[in-house]
Amino acid sequence: MKNLEKTSLLLLLYFSISFLTCSKNEKPAGWIDSMRLLNADSESDNWVSLGRNFMQQHHSPLDQINEQNVSELGFAWEYDARSKRGRVPRGLEATPFVVDGIMFTSGAWGVVYALNAKSGEEIWRYDPTVDASYNRRACCDVVNRGVAVWKGKVYVGTIDGYLVCLDAENGKVIWRKDTFTDRSRSYTITGPPQIANDVVVIGNSGAEFGVRGYITAFDLEKGEQVWRFYTVPGDPSKAFEHPEMEWASKTWDINSDWETAGGGTVWGELAYDPELNLLYVGTGNSSPYPIWFRSPNGGDNLFLCSILAINPDNGRLVWHYQAVPGEIWDYTNTMNIVLANLEIGGKERKVLMQAPKNGFFYVIDRETGELLSAEKYTAANWASHIDLKTGRPVKTEQGWYKDEPKLVVPSLAGGHSWQPMSYSPQTGLVYIPEIVSPFIYKSVDSFKFKKLTFGTGLDYSGAGPPFSEATRKYLKGQSDTVRKNILKAWDPVEQKMVWQIEHMIPGGNGGILSTNGNLVFQGTNTGHLKVYNAETGLILKEIETGTGIMAAPMTYAINGEQYIAVMAGFGGNDLAFGTKDKRAAFRKYQNYGRILAFKLGGKKTPLPPAASNLAVPKPPNMKIDQTLAGKGESIFENYCISCHQAGYDYNWYSQYPNLAKLSEPTYRLLNDIVLKGIYSQNGMASFADVLEESDVEAIKHFLVSRQINLYNKQLDQSKN
């Protein structure tokens, strides 16, 4: 009897606790599981993957905001996306999740934000302690392209290579794992993780610094490594890590530059089809770019610039398609992959679609890897067409720059970069943030790998428009010499353009959102959120935010009210395009990270404070040694210019300090800044491992000589 009473009390206690727990919250915060992901269209109020559903279409069925009432769209709330360093003048590139009223997203370095999606109020913030040296190892800013949310956990990759699992309720670290195989190399993480069945998969970046690409799968609960797939082979004199690498090695010269490691990094959005249990991975560019340095006897060099279909249970390759065999142009396939079911040739096909850098739009059977179609969505002169029988591009002489420089389109910026494109099942169209950016490819005379040093094998002098007098001779009648940015509506079945809109200024315009309101949303580098009719391209609404927008907008609803949200903050490699134009947002307003939300009946969007346009200060009174200045210029171009483009022109914008405007006290601190890393927490890491005091002195002579020239030019302009 006592045992029965004890059992009854235990059962009563269990059910009481269960009832109270369920009453309070049936599922933990951030609860997404397989069933919820598969049925995402039935709960369109939420946004449960980077592209909203597992198809990664960046499209929403929501239609409360539509072409009839979008003129009433206005400001709802904003969040200042700070880190412990303060306001962040960096690029924001992620697409937020919204799960049951909570927004989860990431910013520079891998900072994670959890916000009340109705008010923008911060719930928690995870601010990782990042190794300061990685501020200079990132080729294109310390950006982060998003998180993954799964079963009450948030996963993020930090710029210095850690995959971190957080409790979605409070942001506390559950586990943190090192994903890098070699910390003496300049690996970084800028891409988002992807959940694939029972694992979370993360890639990396850094090919321009000489690294070997791979992806790694970790157990969702404990963070234990499950498998690793390398995307290019290592030195064949050593053991191959998995069978695919032995096979791939046959497409590389046995005497390849194995020290440079090959590249092939995976830094973009992945996609996972839970119905087929296939993970789709886009791989990156070569390292170095010219194959005559990398693999002197040629070869396809698998798996550079490819799409891989991988079984996430064991990490084995199911099929692959290589878009650019023997790649030499930085034509990565890391752009977002979109899944769809399309009727092609009278038959419904499960397809994946991608518009990679190389200028061709690919439609591929995602179950078998069969190439269904590939047509130019932008100007491309490196290849005439794709042979559908072989799947290979038919290359032209214009693309081969070994013997002499050549004007090639697309450029290394690509016909489409990381900014996500969108597919609307409502219109049947894909909306592509197209880039038109010609580039003169010129090989250096010789190439030697140096650790921790940016090196691609290209000579960048005078390579892009406006072309210098020295490079104009290489244009040779080529027509594609003007830089543009275009929003393009593309029919993926007919493989043709339906409409297009050219943006005001080129460079760094944002990713795309489409909705069942017959709308297309895109942010711009002028600091505007623009809304278009999805069928015609007619502009319906334009909201000035004052902050350049590169990320893709997203949408969600709370209590029946629809919101549009976007991360705003300009930076990254996009600073290299269009930054001298006075209409760019950062010319007028201070550039720092913000998350902005809009709704019908909203207010006017608050603008950031005005930008500071300080003139070039009077240079230090010192005698310039021209020999030292020449040495300093060479050092600057090797180690500094990827961040401090502004050292060459005081009108050039960068989120990093403008080295044409240094004050005399800063010059006195130059040794401590460069060699001791006294500004490392602000992003300026020490270079003591590669530079000496004599090198810093040479840099100083170069910078002061530049400042003298610019200061005198400024004086002359003031007289006129």
Q: Count how many Cα atoms sit within 13 Å of the Cα of residue 514 in the half-sphere of its side chain.
A: 26
Strand order in the sheet with 278-282: 271-273, 278-282, 306-311, 316-322
User: What tokens were used for 124?
Assistant: 């928690």
- Give the active site residues: 330
Smallest CA-to-CA distance from 595 within 125, 192, 82 is with 82
Asked whether 154 and 200 are in contact (CB, 8 A), the reply is no
Per the listing, tokens 């040739």 go with 345
The count of residues in the chain is 720
In the Cβ-directed half-sphere of 358, how many Cα atoms lie within 13 Å?
34
CA-based max dimension of the chain: 104
CA distance 607 to 440: 38
688 Cβ contact partners less than 8 Å away, ≥ 6 residues apart? 674, 675, 676, 677
**Cβ-based neighbour number of residue 7 at 10 Å:** 10
Number of Cβ within 10 Å of residue 672's Cβ equals: 13
Element (H, E) at 484: strand 484-491
How far CA 187 is from CA of 97, 209, 225, 453, 710, in Å, comes to: 27, 8, 18, 12, 36
Residue 279 bridge partners (DSSP): 272, 310
Q: Are strands 271-273 and 286-287 parallel, antiparallel or unpaired?
A: unpaired
CA–centroid distance for 280 within its chain: 17
Q: What is the helix (H) or strand (E) element at residue 629, kind and residue range?
A: helix 626-639
Distances (CA, A) of 17 to 13, 170, 350: 6, 22, 46
